[in-house]
């Protein structure tokens, strides 16, 4: 393509959501522009193609009134050979998507600065009544010369994003950054752009998008029905204050978000200032983190500051001790006492140990050994021989020396003392040292649910079931409660029961719900679910509880119907052709 309208095409800059972006020259004023093309020929229905072109021209002209240094200016809009084109300001730089795709994380001060500039530009457009509807890193440019940001595609996203979700066979991109009310086809305000900006902030800080899926249906379901993962779990340097700001910015209801985009960024900046040590995280960094508990992933507290070293004065030299006085001669009486003591020791050392000093032998045979000596003494008078009596003392001298020989036999058992059981005495002591067993304390646990009327069961025991609000009796410790109610998802929660310290849990239940993406050919048909009218027109998203439904659409004399079974967390895409 060499010419498009009055613009001469120089080269290709890239591919957009629904067409090609060219570098072109405006010969009228000699200015280079970026031409973004949109293929209207992809819409096979002539009525739909005409409506799309009219909306494109109207929105492009509305966006042309925006004049802000943070917004790419739109110069012109036109159509040629089934291709609509928009001439806009040519920006020399890179997109935020390209910066975030690098392996290293963004500088945290630079990240907050870019979020603030984007918020200011968005709030300016919202005051002018223009909503972007497709804020994402690929639509935020960073000017190479100045480093400032510029938002592209203002006013164009309103036309293209809804068709990305509803046009059969033409899924261009994924709505990772879109607000829940936007993917449901509801009326959007500037808080939808705020939600998208918060998704970008979440990704800058954690390296992950809050909602990710391989296909569009489960992704839309997560955006509409599920809560985002805790940011502090994905990045441990983020504290609870940053977590609270991101969670509010990603609220499902627009009324629960901040009043403006700038208020979101300013509150986030204050939370970051109150969280020392926080860091941004590169994409995919969470895959390298170790698995941690979902209950506690807090950063480790910094070690206490070490006390300053104190310089001590050099030690004083110790005075030399005075010389010892000369020893005097030992008095004579002390020498005599010492000699007498030494002689007594020698005398008692050579003297056999007295029998009464040695402990009596434990065995009875040793006590009975003196009996033969008594019998020998009784037999002596019968011999009537007085002569041998004087000779007995020399014969009895050796026996007197025999007791020392028997002493070892008597003393040896005491030396060996094979009695280790005495050392085991402490092992028998544990029974008294054990704390007395006490029966577990029973605590009454009041439980409430929102909405009330749900059945609560303790630790899976049917005998404990009651309907909320009610009270369960539980022993102190950790228990599991199961809360169920028809039409709602069953909730299982772990609770810790403690005496006098227990806070009754309030269980918030989520309705069981499935999603139907409904489309008709042509669009704009009235919708009836089981013959009940729905205040929406096709294309639309229907959130219905599980069950069987008959979906009927009507437009004038054209009608169509289809039966579908909705399952909890299921996603269905239905295209109903209208016939006579």
136 φψ region: left (φ > 0), alpha (ψ -120 to 50), beta (else): beta
CB-based contact 265:115 (threshold 8 Å): yes
Handedness of CA 215, 221, 222, 223 (dihedral sign): positive
From 154, 158, 198, select the one nearest 176 (Cα to Cα).
198
Give the single-character DSSP code of 434: S
Catalytic residue check, 163: no
> How big is the CA angle at 208 (ends 202 and 210), to the nearest 5 degrees?
60
CA atoms within 13 A on the CB side of 86: 30
Helix (H, G, I), strand (E, B) or coil at 4: strand
Cα–Cα distance list, 254 to 188, 260, 344, 444 (Å): 9, 11, 110, 40
Exposure b/e, 253-271, CB count within 10 A at least 16 = b = ebeebbebbbebbbbbbeb
From 495, 490, 451, 445, select the one nearest 470 (Cα to Cα).
445
Pairing of strands 571-577, 514-521: parallel
Q: HEC string of 89-119?
A: ECCCEEEHHHHHCCCCCCCHHHHHHHHHHHH
Cα–Cα distance list, 86 to 17, 23, 66, 527 (Å): 13, 12, 15, 35
Rg (CA), the chain: 48
Residue among 134, 153, 193, 523 flagged as catalytic: 134
CB-based contact 520:576 (threshold 8 Å): yes
Give the single-character DSSP code of 189: -
Helix (H, G, I), strand (E, B) or coil at 183: helix
Tell me the DSSP string of 555-567. ETTEEEEEEEEE-
From 460, 445, 462, 457, select the one nearest 484 (Cα to Cα).
457
Pairing of strands 506-508, 442-450: parallel
From 458, 479, 478, select the one nearest 468 (Cα to Cα).
458
CB-based contact 556:536 (threshold 8 Å): no
Distance of CA 318 to the CA centre of its chain: 63
Catalytic residue list = 134
């Amino acid at each position: 393509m060499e010419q498009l309208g009055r613009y001469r095409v120089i080269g290709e800059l890239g591919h957009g959501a629904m067409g090609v972006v060219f570098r072109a020259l405006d010969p009228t004023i000699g200015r280079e522009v970026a031409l973004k093309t949109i293929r209207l020929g992809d819409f096979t229905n002539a009525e739909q193609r005409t409506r799309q072109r009219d909306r494109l021209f109207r929105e492009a002209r509305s966006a042309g009134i925006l004049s802000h240094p943070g917004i790419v200016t739109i110069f012109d809009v036109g159509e040629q050979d089934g291709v609509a084109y928009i001439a806009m300001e040519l920006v020399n730089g890179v997109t935020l998507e390209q910066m975030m795709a690098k392996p290293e994380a963004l500088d945290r001060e630079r990240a907050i600065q870019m979020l603030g500039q984007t918020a200011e530009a968005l709030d300016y457009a919202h005051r002018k009544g223009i909503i972007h509807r497709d804020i994402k890193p690929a639509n935020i440019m960073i000017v190479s010369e100045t480093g400032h940001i510029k938002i592209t595609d203002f006013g164009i996203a309103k036309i293209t994003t809804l068709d990305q979700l509803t046009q059969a066979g033409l899924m261009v991109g994924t709505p990772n950054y879109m607000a829940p009310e936007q993917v449901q086809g509801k009326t959007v305000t500037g808080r939808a752009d705020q939600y998208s900006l918060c998704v970008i902030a979440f990704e800058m800080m954690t390296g992950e998008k809050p909602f990710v899926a391989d296909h569009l249906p489960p992704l839309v379901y997560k955006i509409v029905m599920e809560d985002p993962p805790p940011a502090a779990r994905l990045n441990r340097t983020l504290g609870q204050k940053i977590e609270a700001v991101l969670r509010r910015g990603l609220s499902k209801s627009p009324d629960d978000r901040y009043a403006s985009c700038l208020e979101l960024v300013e509150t986030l900046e204050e939370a970051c200032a109150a969280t020392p040590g926080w860091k941004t995280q590169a994409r995919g960094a969470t895959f390298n983190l170790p698995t941690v508990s979902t209950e506690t992933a807090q950063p480790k507290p910094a070690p206490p500051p070490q006390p300053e070293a104190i310089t001590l004065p050099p030690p004083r030299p110790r005075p030399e001790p005075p010389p010892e006085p000369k020893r005097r001669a030992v008095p004579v009486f002390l020498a005599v006492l010492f000699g007498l003591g030494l002689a007594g020791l020698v005398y008692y050392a050579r003297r056999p140990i007295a029998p009464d000093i040695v402990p009596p032998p434990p065995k009875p045979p040793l006590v009975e050994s003196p009996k033969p000596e008594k019998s020998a003494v009784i037999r002596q008078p019968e011999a009537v021989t007085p002569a041998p009596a004087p000779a007995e003392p020399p014969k009895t001298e050796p026996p007197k020396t025999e007791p020392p020989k028997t002493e070892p036999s008597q003393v040896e058992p005491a030396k060996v003392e094979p009695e280790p059981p005495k050392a085991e005495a402490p092992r028998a002591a544990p029974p008294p040292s054990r704390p007395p067993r006490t029966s577990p304390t029973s605590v009454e646990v009041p439980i409430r649910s929102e909405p009330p009327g749900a059945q609560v069961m303790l630790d899976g025991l049917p005998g404990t079931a009651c309907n909320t609000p009610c009270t369960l009796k539980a022993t102190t410790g950790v228990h599991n409660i199961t809360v169920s109610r028809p039409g709602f998802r069953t909730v299982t929660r772990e609770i810790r029961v403690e005496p006098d310290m227990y806070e009754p849990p309030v269980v918030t239940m989520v309705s069981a719900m499935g999603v139907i993406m409904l489309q008709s050919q042509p669009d704009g048909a009235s919708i009836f679910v089981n013959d009940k009218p729905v205040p929406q027109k096709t294309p639309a998203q229907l959130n219905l509880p599980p069950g069987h439904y008959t979906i009927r659409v009507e437009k004038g004399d054209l009608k169509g119907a289809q039966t579908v079974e909705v399952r909890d967390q299921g996603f269905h895409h239905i295209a109903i052709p209208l016939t006579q």
